[in-house]
Structure 1
């Protein structure tokens, strides 16, 4: 096909089969039909239905997707065990070393859940004071450092609605 300028109007171009007389040895005339039908559809496309949600975030492992092991809310600190994630409590001695990151989405048990391990997170519902943020009860974030259980620094609030994740190793309180 030659180069053609197309407009936004849709059209269909059909090239019909070509017939050509052919002289065959022996002097008899024959007609041979070449089966080379070509159909080309050219036109403006429409948006299709959305596909499944992909793996979140930039390359490098700062964001990932896991399966919820229980009903989970967004913006909760999670741990991972056997491919599923659960809310982590600052007093959970059994799972404290399995800390994965912060949930970005909510999910029912068995559904995919987006998790962020580092970087900036914003939420209009937050009202932080600039300063440190720790792991609290049931995976919640708090600006009150724990006096028992484990001290797990999650990051810092840099504005009322923005935190920078910088998850540190847990320190057991005595």
Structure 2
């Protein structure tokens, strides 16, 4: 039986890596790839490849694939976009009044409950914050 002794030298640590994207305070977010140009504060659905698109309140094919609310914008498909899943989001400039917020057409936020399609409560506006509390959708079609 032969004994082998190996000497290992521990090197110096390398430079720090690139910082990750900024995350929301008090919530959770994920980075996804945009399937289309997206504005910030758009409700999106996610496909099997991790690409997100605006979700319409009448989109029966994708309503169960809701991902969250974009907190960054992207001008073109293929770009990275941050999507928040829970917590508070700054909505200053949207003109929302305190109260409930629903999914509207083409991923927009609305304070008018939908009359057709799907009733999907996104959360509550309080001051300049939207507190995400996404609920299960209700099909309004008869």
Question: Which bracket does the TM-score occupy, shorter chain normalised?
Answer: 0.7 to 0.9
Equivalent residue for 2:106, pick from 126, 129, 138: 138
Distance 2:64 2:105 in 1: 16
- What is the CA-CA distance between 1:55 and the residue it aligns to? 4.0
Cα pair 2:100 2:111 within 8 Å, conserved: yes
The residue that corresponds to 1:9 in the other structure is none
Distance 1:112 1:52 in 2: 15
Equivalent residue for 2:72, pick from 82, 88, 105: 105
Distance 1:102 1:109 in 2: 17
TM-score (normalised: structure 2): 0.80
Which of these two proteins has the greater Rg computed from alpha carbons? 1
Relative to its length, the structure with more strand (as a share) is 1
Q: Which runs of 4+ in 1 moved over 4 A?
A: none
Q: How many residue pairs end up in the alignment?
A: 123
TM-score (normalised: structure 1): 0.66
Structure 1: 5+ residue stretches without partners: 1-50
Cα pair 1:134 1:142 within 8 Å, conserved: yes
Structure 2: 5+ residue stretches without partners: 1-16
Distance 1:103 1:52 in 2: 22
